[in-house]
């Protein structure tokens, strides 16, 4: 008994010693000019791998989001635009799936690589404003921010802005400091790249412009060639895309105007309030955990008993902090403040539809804006604590992922889960086509949430065409679909079902009509039966 008792404390001391050495090494690497780069890259890769595994398991009971399959469909052809949006997200998706198979895990890996690049860019931005210790703390906060993990599960133009907008901010900080022709050129290219992602980025570009006008050093910047070279470079780089916009009769703007109509001022108020509340709620996790580790101290409960405000007072100092560059921090504070309040206020004033997801790309500077407060102390031990929290949260979520997948299943009144099996339908329709025509299935007609899923899941990857769409993606046309033959699909019971059926009857009076059903099964759980009306149109050569 004595041998066991004496060995247990020794093992505990050994583990504590290993933990202390690891913590010391983490802090040392985070503050080292050379090793910090390796630490950040290694940490980001670990984040990407862990959360790809988590999302793949959590989402295993369902097919990918149609935003992702839409991007995959766009990437089948490299165009200057895709009806609703500029082309960059489609281009990246097209390149990605030349190297990776069109399977679910590859889409989650794409999403996590996107946010991983954004995380590294946030760290690089932080290095221009604060010291390396604070910059790594910012990276840890960003990794815990749900936008960069759970919420970032679907790759689309909103998520891609987590790369392009940090690039714009980084280029602006560089141009504001250097004020050279080269820095202005880089800023213009970054802004053009962001605009090629989604036009919503004008909110960030506008915030940067206002910040430059408000900053006390504005005249040094405005008298330099940098801002004017940036504007000229951005305009020149966008000429090919603007020419496409003109050719398609301003389809992206017509899409925005038709899709995001406001019926009343009350609806505008509800949307703006939901946008604000949603994005504040997402920020509470990283801000709350950061506040906890910064305020944490030895025997904190004793000091709290003596002074109820001790927990709040502990992280603050009245001394000047050399780890913060105030002039650069001011730019961050201005940009984040403007981009935080501008969109909801603008939505209210001009009755603009504002979605909660549009805030995905606009709050990545919040962790840096907080940590750049000069009077806020960031002790070395805080890095270790927050890194440990990130690791524990990630590993616990990974372990619980299979149970989360089951617990989060949406169910109908009969207890069956309600995820639709688009992948099953795509496989069955591919077989139907091959048996009838012995050729590749080239085209599919259906609304976006159905047709693009067929493009992704069918081994033939048919190009999608959407009925009634005044802003077609351009990857195919009705003439091409009729020439090659196609399958039209209507989801029975969908709110667009009657419109879909009307289009099929008006345009395909002689098509072969098939009624099909699909049902999803997942770990003993039975899905609802989904019915489809399918219209098969033979290729012209076989009629």
80-132 confidence digits (pLDDT tens): 999 889 999 999 999 999 999 999 999 999 999 999 999 999 999 999 999 99
Bridge partners, residue 491, by sequence: 532
Round to whole Å and give the CA distance between 83 and 94. Answer: 17
pLDDT of 136 higher than 90: yes
Round to whole Å and give the CA distance between 474 and 470. Answer: 11
Structure token pair of residue 332: 């961050």
pLDDT of 538 higher than 70: yes
pLDDT digit string (tens) for 219-236?
Answer: 999 999 999 999 999 999
Q: Taking residues 17-28, what's their average pLDDT?
A: 81
Window from 30-34, 60-64, 65-69, 162-166 with minimum mean pLDDT: 30-34
Q: Note the residue count of the chain.
A: 543
Round to whole Å and give the CA distance between 328 and 343. Answer: 24
Q: Taking residues 23-28, what's their average pLDDT?
A: 88
Q: How many other C-beta atoms lie within 10 A of the C-beta of residue 276?
A: 17
- Residue 309: its pLDDT value, please? 56
Q: Residue 8 — very low, low, confident or very high, per pLDDT cuts 50/70/90?
A: low
Q: Taking residues 447-463, what's their average pLDDT?
A: 96
Query: Whole-number mean pLDDT of the chain?
Result: 90
pLDDT digit string (tens) for 386-396?
Answer: 999 999 999 99
Q: How far is CA 278 from CA 114, 206, 260, 261, 274, in A?
A: 22, 23, 19, 21, 6
Q: Residue 151 — very low, low, confident or very high, per pLDDT cuts 50/70/90?
A: very high
pLDDT digit string (tens) for 233-260?
Answer: 999 999 999 999 999 988 888 887 777 7
Round to whole Å and give the CA distance between 116 and 137. Answer: 16
Among candidates 194, 231, 192, which has minimal Cα distance to 209?
A: 231
pLDDT of 524 higher than 90: no
- Residue 210: its pLDDT value, please? 96
pLDDT of 16 higher than 70: no
> Mind giving me the DSSP string for 451-493?
HHHHHHHSTT-PEEE-TT-SS--SS--HHHHHHH-EEEEEETT
Overall pTM > 0.75: yes
Structure token pair of residue 491: 């989801």
Beta strands in 179-238 (DSSP E): none
Q: Which of 31-35, 298-302, 410-414, 426-430 has the highest mean pLDDT?
A: 426-430
Angle CA(534)–CA(538)–CA(543) in degrees, nearest 5? 145
**Rounded to the nearest 5°, which phi and psi values hold at 463?**
-80, 140
- Residue 279: its pLDDT value, please? 94
- Residue 1: its pLDDT value, please? 46
Q: Residue 13 — very low, low, confident or very high, per pLDDT cuts 50/70/90?
A: low
Q: How many other C-beta atoms lie within 10 A of the C-beta of residue 349?
A: 10
Bridge partners, residue 444, by sequence: 464, 487
Q: Quick one: what percent of the chain has pLDDT higher than 90?
A: 73
pLDDT digit string (tens) for 412-441?
Answer: 877 788 899 999 999 999 999 999 999 999
């Amino acid at each position: 008994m004595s041998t066991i008792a004496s060995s247990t404390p020794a093992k505990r001391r050994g583990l504590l010693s290993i933990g202390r050495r690891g913590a010391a090494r983490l802090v040392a690497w985070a503050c080292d000019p050379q090793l910090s780069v390796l630490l950040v890259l290694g940490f980001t890769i670990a984040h990407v791998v862990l959360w790809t595994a988590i999302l793949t398991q959590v989402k295993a009971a369902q097919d990918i989001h149609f935003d992702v399959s839409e991007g995959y469909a766009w990437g089948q052809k490299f165009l200057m635009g895709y009806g609703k949006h500029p082309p960059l997200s489609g281009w990246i998706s097209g390149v990605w799936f030349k190297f990776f198979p069109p399977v679910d895990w590859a889409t989650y890996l794409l999403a996590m690589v996107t946010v991983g690049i954004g995380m590294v860019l946030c760290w690089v931005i932080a290095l221009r404003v604060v010291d390396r210790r604070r910059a790594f703390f910012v990276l840890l906060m960003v990794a815990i921010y749900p936008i960069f993990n759970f919420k970032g599960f679907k790759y689309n133009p909103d998520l891609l802005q987590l790369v392009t907008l940090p690039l714009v901010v980084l280029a602006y900080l560089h141009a504001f400091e250097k004020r050279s022709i080269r820095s202005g050129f880089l800023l213009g290219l970054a802004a053009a790249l962001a605009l090629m992602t989604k036009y919503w980025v004008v909110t960030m570009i506008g915030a940067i412009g206002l910040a430059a006008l408000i900053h006390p050093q504005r005249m040094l910047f405005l008298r330099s060639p940098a801002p004017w070279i940036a504007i000229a470079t951005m305009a020149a780089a966008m000429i090919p895309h603007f020419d496409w916009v003109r050719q398609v009769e301003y389809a992206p703007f017509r899409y925005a105007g038709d899709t995001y109509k406001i019926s009343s001022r009350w609806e505008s108020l509800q949307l703006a309030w939901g946008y604000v509340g949603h994005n504040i709620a997402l920020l509470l996790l990283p801000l709350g955990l950061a506040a906890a580790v910064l305020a944490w101290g030895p025997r904190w409960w004793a000091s709290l008993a003596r002074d109820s405000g001790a927990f709040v007072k502990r992280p603050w100092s009245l001394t000047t902090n050399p780890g913060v560059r105030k002039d650069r921090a001011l730019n961050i504070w201005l940009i984040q403040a403007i981009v935080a309040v501008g969109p909801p206020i603008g939505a209210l004033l001009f009755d603009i539809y504002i979605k909660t997801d549009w805030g995905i790309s606009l709050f990545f500077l919040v962790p840096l804006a907080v940590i750049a407060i000069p009077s806020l102390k960031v002790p070395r031990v805080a890095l270790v604590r927050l890194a440990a929290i990130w690791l524990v949260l990630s590993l616990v979520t990974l372990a619980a992922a299979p149970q989360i997948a089951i617990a989060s299943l949406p169910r109908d009144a009969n207890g069956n889960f309600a995820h639709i099996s688009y992948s099953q339908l795509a496989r069955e329709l591919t077989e139907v086509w091959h048996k009838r025509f012995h050729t590749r299935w080239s085209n599919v007609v259906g609304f976006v949430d159905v047709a693009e899923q067929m493009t992704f899941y069918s081994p033939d990857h048919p190009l999608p065409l959407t009925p009634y769409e005044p802003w077609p993606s351009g990857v195919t046309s009705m003439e091409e679909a009729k020439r090659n033959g196609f399958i039209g699909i209507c989801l029975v019971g969908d709110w667009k079902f009657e419109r879909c059926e009307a289009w099929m009857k008006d345009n395909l009076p002689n098509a072969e009509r098939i009624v099909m059903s699909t049902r999803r099964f997942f770990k003993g759980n039975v899905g609802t039966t989904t019915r489809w009306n399918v219209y098969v149109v033979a290729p012209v050569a076989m009629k």
